[in-house]
Chain A
C-alpha cells in the first residue's frame, strides 16, 4: 500500500462575509422590524426584544417574574391553552430576561405565521398575571433557587457581580430568600405596562420569511396605541466593592469555583475589539494560554475560560474555572502569571496568527445561516450599533500588533483592580 506524504496541507486565506442583508421597516404602530432573509428550511425565527431587564426593577425578581408569567394566561387564552397551542403549531419558544433586556424568541414553521403572530400579541401585550398562578410560580421559583444556591458556580458568579457592580445596583444585587415573598400581581402589571412597551422594542425576524409576515404583524401589533410609551430609567450608581478578595464557604465541596475579573469598557468603546482579541489569547478558546497552562499542562481543571462581555452600562471581563480544592492557590497564581506575561512580553507572531485565524473562523460561523445572523444582529442592535461593528472587529483581528496587545493588557488587566472570588 502506498503512503502519501502526510505533510500539512496549505492553509488558504478566507474572509468572513460580513454582509448587511438586514431590511428594516416600521409597523403602523411605529415598532421597528428587522428582516434577515436567509436559510434553506421552511422555518422562521422571530424575536421580540424589550428593554425590560432587571436594570429597570426597583424590587428584585420583578423583571424575571414578569417574563415567566407571560404565558400564565391572557385576555383571550388560559395558560393551558397558550402552551398547548404553541406546541400544536410546532413552535419552540424561548423566554428570556437578563440584566438589560427581556423578551421572547419563537422558532416555527413559516406557514404558521398567522397563529403565531396572534399568540405573540396575546402573550406580550395582554397578559393578566393572575394571583393564583403567581403564588404557585413563586413557590416553585424558591425551590429552584434553593437548588441553584447549592452550586459553587452560582455562589461565585452572584458574588462576582455584586462585587464589581455593587450590592444595590440591579446588575449586582443578589437574590435573597425574602425576595420570593414580595412579588405581587400589581407590581408585575406596573412593570409590564411601563417596560413591555412599543416605545423601546424591536422585532428581529430571520429565516425563510413568509410573504404575509408584515401584513400579519400589522394586523396584531399595528394598532398598539401611543399611551404608555413612557420609559423610565431608574437611577442606580455602579459602585464596586472595596474588598477585592472574597471567599464563600461551601461545606463538603470537592471543587472550588474561581471567578477573577472586573468591570470594563462596553462594546461601543474603540478599544473593545482589541480587548476581545486579547481575551481570546488569554482564555477565550481551546488553544488559549489559560487552557494550555492550567488544563493541558497541569491538569488542574476540566476547563478554564476567560470572557469579555458588555452590558448597556458597563462591560466586564471574567476568568472562570472550577478546580480541585487542593489546587486552588496554584491555579490562581498561574492565572496572574499569564496576565503579567501579556503585560510584559510581546506576543510572538505565530501565536497572533492562530488567534487571528481562529477569530476569523468564529466570524464566519457568526454569519452562517439565518439564526446565527439574527443573534449577531441582536448583539449590536442592543448597543445602537450595526454590522459595521463586526467589520471593525474583523479589521482589528487582521491588523492588531504585539505592542497594541501589550498596551491593552496593561490598561485593562491591572492586577490590583481585579476581584477574586472563590466559592468552595
Chain B
C-alpha cells in the first residue's frame, strides 16, 4: 500500500507526496503533459528537442546540472508520444535545490541560439546512434506511419526525419515551451524522506509564483478504425529476416487494456511465454521473438517482432504466429498459465515499488490517467480479468483487418 497526500496550488500545479523514511534520498518527478503528439506534422522531434534544451539554462540558472551535482543529486528525463517526464534523486537534506531548479525551468528557458544549434547536433547524433546505425533500428520508424494514417502517433518521438530536427527554430521552441510548459499542465510527485507539509511549503515557495498559462487545445485527430490489413516489404543490409506485426488497441483507460496487457504477458512474458516456447524452443522458427503493448493514452498498438532462423521462410513464420494467436481465440488458457501471468504481474509491481523513483513516476502517471490511487488497485485490476474477457479481447483486436505487417528482409544472399 502506497500512502500519499495530494494537493493543488492556485496556479493549477498538482502535487503528490509519498513519505518513505527508509530512504536517505528524495525522488522528485515532474511530468509535463506534452509529447510528440503535440507537434506540427512538418516539425516533428520538437518535443524531444525541447527536453534537451531544458538542461541548457533557465531564467536565473545558467546550467541545470551543475548545482544539482553540487547537491549530490542525479537526474534525467524522457519524452514519449504523450508526456515529457523529468526526474531527479537527491539526498533529502538538499531537496530544496531540486525545487529551485525545476521551478526555474518551468518559469522559462534561456532560449539561446547557440545552445539550440548544439542540441540539434546532439539529437542528430542520437537519431543516428539509436535508429539509423543499428541493424533493424529503423523498423518502428517504418511501421508507425503504416499503422497510423492520421494520428500523430504515426511519427516517432525522435522525429520523422533528421531534416525536421535541423529545421527547428528558436521561435518554434519558444512557442512550444510557452504553450505546454506550465504549472496547470504538469504533475509533481515526491517520494522518499519528505513530509507532505514540507513538500507543500517548498512547492508554494518555488512553484507558487509561476503564473498559469493558457494551453491551446490539442485537436488531435482520432485514428479511423483500420478496415483491412496493411503490408509492406523492405530489404536491408541485415544478417537475418525479421517479422514485425502491429494491431491497434483500445484507449489506455479502457478495461480492455488490462486484458491485452495480460495477453502480451501470456505471449511474451519470460522464457515460458507462448511465443518463445512454441516458436523458438519447439518449432525452431525464430532466434528471438517478443511482443508488447504500448501504454499510450490514445489507442495504441500491440507490437510483435521476431528474427528468423536461417532456414525459416517469412510466410511460414507469419503463419505460425497467426496459428498461435488463433488458438487463443478458441481455447481458454490453462488455469495455471492464467494464474502465472497474474502472479508475475503482481511480483513485478512489488519489485517496482522497491524504488522511490519508480513510485514517484508511477504516482505521476496514474494521476495523469485520472486517479493516483490506481497505483494501489493495479494488481486487483489485473487479477479481476477473466479468461472469457481475455478471449474476447483477442477476438476483437488481434484480427487480420486490424493488423499491419512488415517483412524486414535481409538483402544478403546466405
Contacts and interface: CB of A to CB of B under 8 A. Distances in A.
B22 A4 contact: no
Contact of B135 (A13, A88, A150, A354): A150
A84 interface: yes
Contacts of A368: 23-25, 356
Interface in B99-153: 99-100, 103-104, 107, 117-126, 128-130, 132-136
Nearest to A361: B72
Report which residue of A9, A38, A207, A358 has the largest number of chain B beta carbons within 10 angstroms of its beta carbon.
A9
A371 B356 CA distance: 13
Interface in B240-275: 240, 269-272
Contacts, number: 219
A1 B24 CA distance: 35
A116 to B, nearest CB: 11
Contacts of A109: 346-347, 350
B386 interface: no
Interface in B80-103: 89-91, 93-94, 96-97, 99-100, 103
Contacts of A224: none
B347 A90 contact: yes
Given A107-B351, A287-B66, A147 B72 contact: no
A13 B89 contact: no
A143 B307 contact: yes
Given A147-B307, A151-B135, A361-B74, A324 B125 contact: yes
Given A1-B209, A368-B25, A323 B125 contact: yes
A302 B129 contact: yes
Nearest to B25: A368
A71 B271 contact: yes
3 residue pairs, one from A and one from B, having the closest CB atoms: A361-B72, A299-B121, A90-B347
Contacts of B348: 90, 92
B20 A87 contact: no
Contact of B93 (A12, A40, A80, A91): A12
B40 interface: no
Given A14-B91, A298-B118, A88 B336 contact: yes
Given A299-B122, A322-B133, A364-B25, 10 more contacts: A2-B209, A40-B22, A41-B351, A83-B272, A144-B287, A255-B128, A299-B121, A322-B125, A322-B129, A357-B69
Contacts of B309: 139-140, 143
A308 to B, nearest CB: 19
A364 B72 contact: yes
Contact of A299 (B73, B91, B120, B355): B120
Contacts of B91: 14, 361, 364
A413 interface: no
Contacts of A38: 22
For chain A, the bracket of interface size reads: 35 or more
A146 B239 contact: yes
Contacts of A42: 350
B65 A360 contact: no
B9 to A, nearest CB: 12
B280 A140 contact: yes
A391 B287 CA distance: 46
B267 to A, nearest CB: 13
A369 B97 contact: no
A418 B281 CA distance: 45
Contact of A255 (B22, B72, B129, B271): B129
A196 interface: no
A147 B307 CA distance: 10
Contacts of A84: 272, 336-337, 340
Given A88-B339, A365-B25, A6 B277 contact: no
Given A254-B133, A301-B125, A87 B60 contact: no
A8 B125 contact: no
B67 interface: yes
Interface in A216-258: 251-255
A190 interface: no
A357 B272 contact: no
